[in-house]
Chain A
Amino acid sequence: MNKVILLIFILCASILHSQQTPAPIQKKSIAIKGAKAHIGNGKTISNSLIIFENGILNYVGDNNNNKDLSNCVVIQAFGKNVYPGLIIPNSTLGLIEIDAVRASDDVSEIGEWNPHIRSLIAYNTESRVVETMRPNGVLIAQITPRGGVISGRSSIVQLDAWNWEDSVIKTDDGIHMNWPNNYSYGRWWKGEDPGLKINNKYAEKVNEIETYFNNAKAHIKKSNNKINLPFESMEELFNNNTKLYIHVDDEKGIIDAVSLAQKYGINKITIVGGYESHKITDFLIKNNISVLLQRVHSRPEKNDDDYDLPYKLAKKLVDAGITVGLEASGDMERMNSRNLPFYAGTTAAYGLSKEQALMLITLNNAKILGIDQKYGSLEVGKSATLFISEGDALDIRTNNLLNAFIDGREISLESHQTKLWKRYSEKYQIPIN
């Protein structure tokens, strides 16, 4: 009886805590029995057994075997679904808490050329927005700075940690560059026609980038230079030790940007956004360029575009053989990032199979971010970063998480929001489902 009271006390105490307490390391082996396993590489196992120990998957296979599970905590999951933790790339989670509150905004540094800027150290592990990702299955994020021509360097984190240092999966994984637009919109707030016009400054802007790259290269070559932190940060890029993420949408811009990068020997390139990438799939294949595709739930750019163009872009790229993942930047991107599984679901409504759609936000994103050795799919030897959902996790009405694990640690699925829900349901004496 005392134990029950103690347990209730502990539960209450944890509910009263303002942020979710990060889970301790995995102590006992865990086995998930009977679920449909969505591996993340396009395959499924309908009646699966998944075992992990010390945070690493050591068995993923059929449930019809005589595995000794006596050392395991067994989770019965018949009729349920297991997925790899979803990965949100090009995200600003933890860099802004509330959009309109300037004091909570750390997303964009002043200036145009900031390759030395690092997002990781500003990433707030205790963000209330971050903890709302996990109940929908989003467990890993690439934290990305914004602004300028070269915004800075991103890092990849898991979303259950005491501090940024403990959250890191990959430090400074890439440099982000915003390519100038071939077309520009009129500034309506200055009384200009809001329509799209040819950007007369395009060539000038591209030239500036080229000059910057030249200067950086020259600086690095000459060994007795005085320290220049931004230029020195470019070295990793020229050495191909870090990736270049080029944020660009139009077809001409993509070709120009890739060609320029290649001129400097840069060969690890990903296009971010890529609205028109479907028009130049041959070019992308030939140059081995992957694409982090813009938010699926957006409207077509032009009035005469197909109404479902943003929904079916993923299908067009996948069919062409391009490694494509989904990103979600744009208006209200942080809080909306928890809808990542539903962006993937929509690509399945518009052409892809459900398992192909899942790949876009698991294994493909892991490959693009360079973390697929450890994350992105349910395969032996990889991290036990996964979740169990009652139903199909890509469909809103059935995405209902029961358990989630990061590196084998069973994380809390509560949030500031679930606490308020429970508190006010109790006020009105409504039973909670």
Chain B
Amino acid sequence: MNCNINFNNEWLTLLFTSRDTTQQKFIRYTGKINNNGFEGDINLSDGSKTNMKIEKISSKRAKSKLKNKITKKEKVIIPVTYPNVAYGNEKLPQKETLLFKNATVWTNEIEGILYNTDVLVENGKISAIGKNLKSSSAKTIDASGKHLTSGIIDEHSHIAAASINEAGQNSSAEVSIEDVIVANDINIYRNLSGGVTTIQILHGSANPIGGRSAIIKLKWGETADNLIFKNSPKFIKFALGENVKQSNWQSFTRFPQTRMGVEQMYMDYFSRAAEYNEIKSSGKEYRYDIEMEVLSEVLNKQRFISCHSYIQSEINMLMKVAENFNFNINTFTHILEGYKVADKMKSHGVGASTFSDWWAYKYEVNDAIPYNATILNNVGVITAINSDDAEMSRRLNQEAAKAVKYGGTSEEDAWKMVTINPAKLLHIDDKVGSIKIGKDADLVLWSGNPLSIYTKAEKTIIEGATYFDLQIDKQQRKNIKNERNILIQMMLKEKNKGIKTQPIIVKKKQDMHCDTLDNNEF
């Protein structure tokens, strides 16, 4: 054995290298000095780790007792996975014929919750719901004591995107999130582990007219283009309030700086779009303008608005602007004071997609209450609960439970707030959002009542293919540990040969929220 010794800031590192050049193995030790020697951990060449003390003793006894067991080839080629990051699969998950037996099925349809019920999945669709279903070709899953629901849909997400805000101007209708999807973002996998199957990635809220959305299914391993929801309805993000008037950072030059200015900015843009539209449809020559094209789609009811909004005055204002131009706002997202104008929202026909209990982070959310979703739902507004947050998005089942806690929404209605209601708001409820024959088999098998804090997602399925499975996850953890060890051993070997090394750098993606600005934008 050779040994490299390094002592720095009271920490000792030892690197033992076996002499055998065909099967070189490495053992690493890191320990902190104490009165008697060193104490720390030893990493064996098989990846295992144990505590080890080094004490001052006579040199005779100090002969190495370290032995290592593994016999590994010198260079190992590790297979590419889909995606090629941690928790990627060696093969893309395939559609299967699946038969869930004896589940508690939350249909989200008129049938309500069905007990001891079977659900059959074929060709990526739900093909039968009932008792004692049989299929010779199906993989049978015993779901006794478990709950089966449609996948969670997050109306407001910023995961899996390389960029969120084009904030240089007050309208950025020309940009689209579909162009910046990051298909290998680990947050996709983590959302799957929380039962999420479909999300809308919204542009940020730095400007009154934001960019166009991407609606994606979380098919972990697929390319960015293949994630995009088929025949996806068109959406654009709008935003109101403190973010668009740039209240909370030092910017005093961009119009608008007040809610008054925000209204007139919309009036201005939609007037221009109406003019553009008129010239275009008259057959006269016109100069193609991508921004005006997008806003014309809004006027022609071919593109829907999801608008970041908090206080009642601005909510009311935007509805009036839209009515002026003879279209409807589709969704108010966040909408924390929606409860104050729920009746007006209902008559306008706009839906609400809100936080369960967030408030107090800025002045405009001072009157935000956790009863918002319950009140809106009771008044008859289509109400969803969203995340806007990569952490909360993997616990949306719990966030839905807050509508039960605050205001006493029924469990079935609360569950709809993270499934069929956001599907309706996104105009994809003909395909997803409930367990109904003919709909996409986007399903989650839960260990218990999906609203309970004690419940875990055991399987998350999209169009009949399993993208998350607790058992597979367990195996992947082992594989990751193993792969990490192989890579470290290979790197140490190269390092020992004297090859140039570089310090450790862990890649970190910046977390995105509504108000996240890209590098150097301001």
Contacts and interface: CB of A to CB of B under 8 A. Distances in A.
Contacts of A129: 360
Contact of B477 (A297, A306, A346): A306
Contact of A428 (B39, B375, B402, B503): B375
A195 B247 CA distance: 30
Of B359, B367, B451, B509, which is in contact with the most chain A CB atoms at under 10 Å from its CB? Answer: B359
Interface in B13-65: 30, 32, 34, 39, 41, 51
**Chain B contact patch, size range:** 35 or more
Of A100, A255, A332, which is in contact with the most chain B CB atoms at under 10 Å from its CB? Answer: A100
A183 B507 CA distance: 12
B86 A256 contact: no
Interface residues of A, number: 64
Of B30, B358, B370, B477, which is in contact with the most chain A CB atoms at under 10 Å from its CB? Answer: B370
Interface stretch (B70-78, B258-266, B279-287, B336-344): B336-344
A395 B454 contact: yes
Contacts of A335: 357-361
B375 A397 contact: no
A98 B402 contact: no
B363 A101 contact: yes
B340 A252 contact: no
B455 interface: yes
Interface in B392-407: 392, 394-395, 398, 401-402, 404-407
B361 A332 contact: yes
Interface string A315-345: 0000000000000000010110011001001
Interface string A418-433: 1011001100101011
A320 to B, nearest CB: 12
A417 B369 contact: yes
Contacts of B137: none
Contact of B189 (A97, A186, A307, A346): A307
Contacts of B509: 194
A206 interface: yes
Nearest to B356: A396
B325 to A, nearest CB: 29
A100 B363 contact: yes
A297 B395 contact: yes
A304 B86 contact: yes
Interface of A: 97-101, 128-129, 183, 185-186, 188-189, 191, 193-198, 202-203, 206, 252, 255-256, 259, 279, 282-283, 297-299, 302-304, 306-308, 332, 334-335, 338-339, 342, 345-346, 348-349, 394-397, 399-400, 417-418, 420-421, 424-425, 428, 430, 432-433
19 contacts: A100-B362, A100-B363, A185-B508, A194-B508, A196-B508, A252-B11, A282-B51, A304-B87, A304-B480, A306-B477, A308-B193, A335-B358, A349-B455, A397-B451, A417-B359, A421-B375, A425-B375, A425-B378, A428-B343
Interface of B: 8-11, 30, 32, 34, 39, 41, 51, 85-87, 186-187, 189-190, 193, 242, 247-248, 339-340, 342-343, 357-363, 366-367, 369-371, 375, 378-379, 390-392, 394-395, 398, 401-402, 404-408, 411, 449, 451-456, 473, 477, 480, 484, 503-510, 519-520
